[in-house]
Chains A and B, each alone.
Chain A
Amino acid sequence: MLEVKNLSVSFYTPKGEVEAVRNVSFTLKAGEVLAVVGESGCGKSVLCKSIMKLLPSSAKIKSGSICINGVDITGYGEQEMRKMRGKIFSMIFQDPMTALNPTMPVGAQIAEAVKVHRPRISKAELKCQVIELMALVGIDRPEERMKLYPYHFSGGMRQRSVMAIALAGYPDILFADEPTTALDVTIQGQILDLLRDIQRRLKTATVFVTHDLGVVARVADRVAVMYAGKIVEIGTADEIFYDPRHPYTWGLMRSLPAFSKGKDTLYTIPGMPPTMINPPKGDAFACRNEYALAIDYEEEPPMFRVTDTHYAATWLLDERAPKIESPVAGLYR
């Protein structure tokens, strides 16, 4: 469905080149949910936006290729991309507060998205379509509510409206950029269930960006862990949660408050993520890694195969490396 190969994206700022995404490869199959996890600033939302070409003009795709259904779209211009947006892929954002135009009724904003793909739709049909979409995302009494403005809506309702807009063209791929981070926990649950439900019904492949491992567990079929612009570990949800191999994934797991239950302090990964201007030589995670080997400071680890679906970029998987017991092995026993 979607195949990204060796993608690198850089921002050119006055301070220098920011390497936001470095040599990222992954595939997305039809109808599956891939969760992308990592700390803020690790490049996970840049990755989504660069696939949709929604980045500002200061960002450039340096190398790599993006293929959708076997067609290479890396070199596509704005015209061609526009025709694909909404139809092939669509996106929902973190903050439903700002993602809707405050001065336009919600129904009109959804209608606009429908019209893009069917410009000659009749008025009555358009209204039907909008109501159908609002019902799809679980907005009750859509006929009354389509005339309301975003500020009449609560956060959860706004996120549902954004979803209705994103789904208006029945896209094959949905990018969800931290869609529940700004929401309350009970609303978050509802939105996640809705996403899962819609994804099953419409067979939409989803790339779900988040920093919350709980959310990942809830929605993901496969998980990609990102650190400093690179995917450091990728595998099925079960493989990542029950058999993680990369020290950074271990660190993320150990940082969960549930892991520190009954202990005096919460675990935190020591140090800070590196700046993406001049990333360090070798493994970017080496200086925060308690299991770092000498080679980590010298050479970037390649992706080691664990199983056919599970890969991790750490020298610990090299056959010459010492065997280390995972510190989170006992978490789910």
Chain B
Amino acid sequence: MKEEEILLDVQHLSHIFPITRKISVRAVDDVSFKIRRGEIFGLVGESGSGKSTVARCVMNIYKPSGGRIIYKGVDVCDSRQFRKNKRMLQTTRQIIFQDSDSSLDQRMKVCDIISEPMRIQHMTPPRGTMRAEAEFQMHYVGLNADYLDKYPSELSGGQRQRVAIARALVMEPELLVADEPVAALDVSIQAQIVNLFRHLQKEHGFSFLFIAHDLAMVEFLCDRVGVMYRGKLVETAPVKELFANPKHPYTKRLLSAIPIPNPRIERQKGL
């Protein structure tokens, strides 16, 4: 891997949640991985495996207990380097959460939600007005302009998630982190959103950290995959290789647990 290709380099990341003075939980334990420019990196694991904690550390939401996160050559955990590059870090990294119901402000109109990042950063909208910019982004994620003046509660789950994506894209990010963006949605809507991600990534060329527990979606969307188990990254591999030839026993176990929609194969499994 060439140095300049790498956008995000996570080195020996650890995060410990203290619960009482004596007891703590090691949510992330010595995790290292790299994401190249324009790559879709999937992080899979079961609930409680620490994948969301990794995403939050990458986005500076949690302060890691150990290790370094280098983004475009800047150590984001170092407070001096963070302050120096604050604007760059805040604009070029964006996150999408699982629950768009609570991650969008209920009292703001869609148009304001989408343009808010620009207002915070005092950017002049490239398409004239904030509203025009919001409209453009809406169109981009497959919503028509009628929704501009609606409130999040008036939208369906899939539409809200599209709004969350538009809000992230308005800053033209170089790294997009999505923490289980489709887990709360209906299956048919999941597919639409995953299609949208794939399409947007091709157009924009941003790097994408996609966190999910649904292996089928990861297989379809991602270029490389990391498998997490109990806070540790047990295996990283290009997606085809991982699914064709899993090396770690946990990955094998995980892959064989997915029910295949083929009764004959499944029946043999049970015996």
The answer to A–B direct touch (Cβ < 8 A) is yes
Chain A interface residues toward B at CB < 8 A: 39-40, 155, 184-189, 192-193, 196, 211-218, 220, 237-238, 241, 253, 255-258, 260-261, 264-269, 332
Of A186, A267, A269, the contact of B253 (CB 8 Å cutoff)? A186
Which parts of B172-201 form the interface with A (CB within 8 Å)? 186-188, 191-192, 194-195, 198-199
The 5 closest A-B pairs by CB, nearest first: A214-B259, A184-B46, A257-B216, A213-B261, A189-B257
Of B187, B256, B261, the contact of A258 (CB 8 Å cutoff)? B261
Of A39, A212, A265, the contact of B186 (CB 8 Å cutoff)? A39
- Give the nearest-CB partner of A182 in chain B: B47
- Give the nearest-CB partner of B189 in chain A: A268
Contacts of A188 in B (CB 8 A): 257, 259
Q: How far, in angstroms, from A237 to B266 measured CA to CA in the complex? A: 11
Contacts of A213 in B (CB 8 A): 261
24 A–B contacts, CB within 8 A, in A order: A39-B186, A40-B186, A184-B213, A185-B258, A186-B253, A186-B257, A189-B257, A196-B270, A211-B187, A214-B258, A215-B259, A217-B260, A217-B262, A217-B266, A218-B266, A218-B269, A218-B270, A255-B191, A257-B191, A257-B216, A257-B219, A258-B260, A258-B261, A266-B194
Contacts of A241 in B (CB 8 A): 261-263
- Give the nearest-CB partner of A253 in chain B: B261
Q: How far, in angstroms, from A215 to B213 measured CA to CA in the complex? A: 16
Contacts of B187 in A (CB 8 A): 39, 211-212, 255
Total residues of chain B contacting the partner, CB 8 A: 32
Say what secondary structure dominates the interface of chain A: helix
Contacts of A265 in B (CB 8 A): 195, 198-199
Q: How far, in angstroms, from A185 to B214 measured CA to CA in the complex? A: 8
Which of B215, B220, B265 has most A Cβ within 10 Å? Answer: B220
Asked, given contacts A155-B47, A257-B217, A266-B194, whether A212 binds B259 with beta carbons under 8 Å apart, the answer is yes
- Give the nearest-CB partner of B220 in chain A: A257
| Distance (whole angstroms) from the CB of A84 to the closest CB of chain B | 31
Is the beta-carbon distance between A39 and B266 smaller than 8 angstroms?
no
- Give the nearest-CB partner of B256 in chain A: A189
Is the beta-carbon distance between B220 and A266 smaller than 8 angstroms?
yes
Q: How far, in angstroms, from A40 to B258 measured CA to CA in the complex? A: 21
Contacts of A253 in B (CB 8 A): 261
Asked, given contacts A186-B254, A268-B191, whether A332 binds B262 with beta carbons under 8 Å apart, the answer is yes
| Distance (whole angstroms) from the CB of B146 to the closest CB of chain A | 16
Contacts of A255 in B (CB 8 A): 187-188, 191
Is the beta-carbon distance between B261 and A185 smaller than 8 angstroms?
no
Contacts of A212 in B (CB 8 A): 187, 259
A-contact bits for B204-216, CB 8 A (1 contact / 0 none):
0000000001011
Of A39, A220, A268, the contact of B195 (CB 8 Å cutoff)? A268
Of B192, B215, B257, B260, the contact of A268 (CB 8 Å cutoff)? B192
Say what secondary structure dominates the interface of chain B: helix
* Seed contacts A258-B261, A268-B188; 13 additional CB < 8 Å A-B pairs: A155-B47, A185-B213, A185-B258, A186-B253, A193-B270, A214-B260, A218-B270, A220-B263, A241-B263, A255-B187, A258-B260, A268-B192, A332-B262
| Distance (whole angstroms) from the CB of B182 to the closest CB of chain A | 11
- Give the nearest-CB partner of A264 in chain B: B198
A-contact bits for B237-265, CB 8 A (1 contact / 0 none):
00000000000000001101111111111
Chain B interface residues toward A at CB < 8 A: 46-47, 186-188, 191-192, 194-195, 198-199, 213, 215-217, 219-220, 253-254, 256-266, 269-270
Contacts of B188 in A (CB 8 A): 39, 255, 268-269
Contacts of B261 in A (CB 8 A): 213-214, 216-217, 241, 253, 256, 258
Q: How far, in angstroms, from A265 to B194 measured CA to CA in the complex? A: 8
Contacts of A256 in B (CB 8 A): 216, 261
Q: How far, in angstroms, from A213 to B266 measured CA to CA in the complex? A: 11
Is the beta-carbon distance between A185 and B215 smaller than 8 angstroms?
yes
| Distance (whole angstroms) from the CB of A12 to the closest CB of chain B | 24
Contacts of B254 in A (CB 8 A): 185-186
Contacts of A211 in B (CB 8 A): 187
Q: How far, in angstroms, from A196 to B258 measured CA to CA in the complex? A: 16
Contacts of A261 in B (CB 8 A): 219-220
Is the beta-carbon distance between A258 and B253 smaller than 8 angstroms?
no
Is the beta-carbon distance between A258 and B216 smaller than 8 angstroms?
yes
Q: How far, in angstroms, from A193 to B267 measured CA to CA in the complex? A: 11
Q: How far, in angstroms, from A53 to B186 measured CA to CA in the complex? A: 27
| Distance (whole angstroms) from the CB of A234 to the closest CB of chain B | 15
Contacts of B257 in A (CB 8 A): 185-186, 188-189
Contacts of A332 in B (CB 8 A): 262
Q: How far, in angstroms, from A90 to B67 measured CA to CA in the complex? A: 51
Contacts of A260 in B (CB 8 A): 220
Q: How far, in angstroms, from A214 to B254 measured CA to CA in the complex? A: 15
Of B186, B195, B259, B264, the contact of A266 (CB 8 Å cutoff)? B195
Contacts of A216 in B (CB 8 A): 261
- Give the nearest-CB partner of A221 in chain B: B263
| Distance (whole angstroms) from the CB of A266 to the closest CB of chain B | 4
Of B46, B219, B220, the contact of A186 (CB 8 Å cutoff)? B46
Q: How far, in angstroms, from A214 to B187 measured CA to CA in the complex? A: 13
Of A192, A217, A264, A269, the contact of B263 (CB 8 Å cutoff)? A217
- Give the nearest-CB partner of B192 in chain A: A268
Contacts of B194 in A (CB 8 A): 266
Contacts of B270 in A (CB 8 A): 193, 196, 218
